[in-house]
Structure formats: C-alpha cells, structure tokens
Structure 1
C-alpha cells in the first residue's frame, strides 16, 4: 500500500528531481506543491495544511516550545545563505564598520525571522555589537508587502527594543530617507537599486563570507523540511525514506553544474564559479550538504543564537530537532 503525502516547497534545483518524479520515495506518493516560501510558511504554521513542508528554521524551533509541538524535522536543508551580504546601511548614518551599529536603528521584517537571527548573532559574536545595543524597527521591506505578523508567538528579552513601523511605511523607503540606519533582511531592499545612499555594510561581502566560512565551517541554514508530527507518529518509517529521497535529489542537482558540452544555466562563467566554490567549501566536491552529523555544528550555533536572543524557551540540543531515525548518516 502506497502512502499519499503532500509536500509544499519552492522548486529549488535540489528539489527538482522530487518535483518532476525522477526521484520517488519508496512507498510514498508525494504530491509536490510549488509555493514560494512565505506562502508555505504562513499556511503550514497557521493551518498545518501540508503533510510535509519547507519551514523556517527559526519558526520551527519556536514550535518546539509549544505544549504539543506540531512538527518534526528532517536533516534536510532546502535553503542556506551567507547573510553578511544582506545587511544594508544608509551611508549618511556614520556607519563605516559593523561596530558603528551600536545605538543605531535597524529595520528587520520580523524579530524571529531566521536571517536576522543569524545576522544579529554574527554581529554580536564576531564584531562585539550587543544585540540590545541596537533598536529594531519591524515591518514590511517593500510597499507591496502585506503587514508583517509573526507566524509563531514568541516573547522578547526585556532589554531589547523592538518597535513596529507606522502603517503605510516600509523599511526600504525608511532606509533611503534616513529614518532608519540599517536593514537586516533576507531580501534586497529596492532602495539599494535606486539610491546611492543605500549600500551594503560589507561591500566586499564575498571575501568576508569566505573568511567566515574558512574560520567557522558554517554555511548558515535558513530552512528545514518538516513533517506534521501526527503523520510522522503514524508512519515513523517515512522520515528515513524521505531523507534518503531528498539526498538522491540533492545529488542529482550537481549533475548539470558539471556538464561542459553546453551550459545548462545562463551563467557564462559557471565553471569558474563552481571551481571557486568547490575549492573553498567542497572537500569532497560537494559544498551543499544535508545530513545531521555534517551540520550539527551549524544547528548548534543557530540554537545558541535563538536562545541568547530570547526566542527559544531553552537551549535545545541539536538532536532534539530531528526524527531520531534520521540522525545517522547512510550511503546512497
């Protein structure tokens, strides 16, 4: 008997083989629902519409503090991103280095959002800028976005100032106008493209991020794949089966990057980028790695940040996030 499950996720290259059916989890008929991340997160966290879905790492960790945690994760990470490049400043705000953020007004979409959790943690740990030394202004990045409302309830530390922006305003314009000094986000504010005053905190972000990785071996995780706990508890075998299928799909994503007869992607110097990335991050020719053991140090660092920033109710162990039968690595 085949188990039918729905799976909501964006159509990343590492998920393409799952989406188009080249990889089929054994004993599972998986219906792939291609939604952008904000829609998936909202529908899953508010209404639990899908059997399996991509989820914000930060939001998922917050759900673990609920009386009956609704999800259990797999060590599968569809989204990862170095976040130094996503910190923007107004050049008139007397900010020339990260340490100058002390006392500044920083716009963020949501306090609990994964990207700002990483960014605040990195700024504090690497540049000695305490989290409570900045004043956070929360709201939409762009005027086209709906009002940002935290999808998972959470508390705030008493010494951290978080202020919602006025209705009708947006962080991108506020940064351009100098009403705030910086933005920590996942997306690039449109004011970066139109205003000479809006620049990156780290103009040489690629060098900074490469140095960060060389020192820490951390490639920040943004999202996990999570199963509704009720579905998992009724069918615990699916955690291992799905993890294996996702590993196969990830492996197949490398194939077009190695193709040399014709370019599969519209990047003229793709080969150079692949070689550069592999030299820095790919000790075995693979730089994007799922699996618990390979990523335990990354998860532990995020959990440290989440707890220190007043989000997680306690400092979880990395093992507590994932289905027990997915913690051991296996060979495909």
Structure 2
C-alpha cells in the first residue's frame, strides 16, 4: 500500500533530526523534510500555505486560530522549540535602566508584535516585574535588515500602540542611537559598534532558573501545524505526525544521556542535563496536551491580554481532537 506524501518544513533541531534523516518515519507517510530557517518557514506557511506540515510560531498560530472560522491550519501538541526569555531583553550599554519597570513611558522595539518570544517577555514583565503591556509603545521592524513586517494582520485594542519603523532603519540601529529604549528579541543583537548594547538582566540565567522553579514553566515557542485540507483528507496523519515527533525526541533524549562518548561539544553536558532536570523535572521538554496545559493556559492569557486574540482560547482549542489523549492498552 502506497504511503501518503507529505512535506514538512522545520529547522535542524537535535530533537527532530531523526525525522530529517529517516531514522523515524511517520506511520503511513512518505515524508520530505525541508530544513529551513524558522522565520522563512513561518512566513511561507502563513502567507502561502506552501507545506503540508510545518513548524509554526505559537503566537502566530494562536492569532490565526482566534481570527479564523474555521482556521486553515490545525496543530498537534508537539513543541520543537522552547526557550526562556529573560536574556532576550536589551538596552543600550550606557542606559540608566536597571529594572524593567523603569521602561514605562518609553519605546520598545520588537521584530514583530506577534512574535512568541515577545508575548512571553511582555507577559512575564507584566506579571512579575511591574511593567504593564500598554505602558510602553512598540516599534516593529527588522533587527539587522530593514523592511520586516508582521506575517499576518493584527487588530489590536487602541491602548496598545504599535508602529512600523522607517523603511530605511533597523531596530538595532535605533537602539544604539537612542531612538528606542529597549529591544525584545529572540536573536542576539549585532550592533555595528560592539559593546554598545547590553542585556537588561545581567544575571539572566539566574532570573530564568528562578522563574522556572517558581512557576514550573519552560516557555513554548513553536508548535507543529498541518494544512486543514491535509487533515481533512487524511485525519489519521495528524496522530501519525505527532507520534513521529515524539519518537524523534526520545532518540535525542537517549543520546543526550550517553556518558561513554559525549555526542555533543558541550563538555559538561551530563551535569547540565542533571541541572535542568533538578529544576524542571525529568521530562522537562514534554509533548502532548495534558503535560503542557498549564503552560499553554498562561500563554493564552498573555495573548488575550496583549490584544492578539479577541477571546481567551482554551489549550484544547489549539489541537486536533485525535491528539488530545492516548490509547490505553
């Protein structure tokens, strides 16, 4: 019996490499793995629906679901990207700002308002550091190259002010020149003059570990989506793709714990693995709806409070029903 051919656009993660090299094959699927930068994957999938399956910004997907009836994309609860984000808040090296609350009344740059990293940063700063989302103005555009725009249109409430920066400017230039007061970004700024930008939190890792210990949250950045027409034609494929992502992750987990010959170039990888598990638990990168419901609830609250969704979604609204639970044998 022939397999269903599906294309998958996803970056080169250790936890997806078994899918890329064919070690793990989704049941019933002939998979073509397209290794692309995440921004390109998101743009091409949101604008043109080019792939059957794709890694997707959680915030962009949530915004898409809330604005569409029915949405053209559906998702499975696999999360190839997670990251803490206290280290992604930048100010000028000579800025007097040492506490996030001091940014109130200022201007903050974000590559896109709907960026998942920015949603987490804004929510965490509002919840834990006294900086309400609407207390700053937002400026959007490319970090190092001019011209970046939102991947999909937004309908934000009037109290949240977002403006596009001039077409010939970049956010990093504007930060260095003092035209914005801070930058929230998933990538590290590369200013023309080194040493002109610093992190707002000099102890970012300590802040992130404290946040993890106190909340139990390891922020989700990306999920995995399918075009609705693919799901409609092959409803079984959603579960097949989800289980393949789970199997690929387990391959990496087993490899990380190998002590006889270090598979990575991180000298103390076993110590780092133990440290992560001591803070976040043994399965600190879980897939599936049940294990991630609490984290997703916080994110969906942030998305609603920040004007990205007109209604507050429930985690179950995001994923096809076939992936909500597992068969017990």
TM-score range, shorter chain: over 0.9
> Are 1:225 and 2:230 matched, yes or no?
no
Contact 2:107 2:180 in 1 (8 A): yes
Q: Shift in Å at residue 139 of structure 1?
A: 0.9
Cα separation, 2, equivalents of 1:174 and 1:104: 13
Shift of the 316–246 alpha-carbon distance from structure 1 to 2, 3 Å rule, reads same
Structure 2 counterparts to residues 76-87 of structure 1, below 5 A: 76-87=78-89
Determine if contact 1:292/1:329 at 8 Å carries over to the other structure: no
The aligned residue for residue 22 of structure 2 is 21
TM-score, normalising length: structure 1: 0.94
1:14 CA drift (Å): 0.6
Q: How does 1:243-322 map to 2 (within 5 A)?
A: 243-282=242-281, 285-322=282-319
Structure 1 residue 146: Cα displacement: 4.9
Structure 2, unaligned stretches of length 5 or more? none
Q: Is the 8 A contact 1:92 1:178 kept in 2?
A: no
Q: Which residue is equivalent to 1:158?
A: 158
Aligned length: 327
Q: Secondary structure at the match of 2:173?
A: helix
Counterpart for residue 6 of structure 2: 5
Report what 1:97 is aligned to. Answer: 99
Moved more, 196-205 or 118-127: 196-205
Deviates more, 1:154-163 or 1:299-308: 154-163
Residue 67 (structure 1) shift: 3.5
Contact 1:296–1:318 (Cα < 8 Å) also in 2: yes
Aligned positions of 1:113-262 closer than 5 A: 113-142=115-144, 145-191=145-191, 194-262=193-261
State the distance in 2 between where 1:234 and 1:313 align: 30
8 Å CA contact retained: 1:176, 1:195: no
Q: Which whole-Å CA distance do the structure 1 matches of 2:140 and 2:150 have between them? A: 10
Offset at 1:28?
A: 1.0
Deviates more, 1:90-99 or 1:292-301: 90-99
Question: How many Å separate the matches in 2 of 1:331 and 1:119?
Answer: 38
Residue-by-residue CA offset, 1:279-326 (whole Å, 9 max, x unaligned):
1112xx332111111101111111111111111121111101001010
Give the whole-Å Cα distance in 2 for the aligned partners of 1:238 and 1:58.
24
CA contact (8 A) 2:106 2:137 kept: yes
Deviations 1:101-147 (Å, cap 9, x if unpaired)?
Answer: 111211100111111111111111111211111111111111xx351
Q: Distance in 1 between matches of 2:146 and 2:171?
A: 13
TM-score relative to the length of structure 2 = 0.95
Question: How large is the Cα RMSD of the aligned pairs?
Answer: 1.6
Judge conservation of contact 2:140–2:149 (CA < 8 Å) in 1: no
- Match of 2:55, SS? strand
Counterpart CA distance in 2 for 1:232 and 1:278 is 35
The more displaced of 92-101 and 105-114 is: 92-101
Aligned mates of 1:150, 1:330 — CA distance in 2: 40
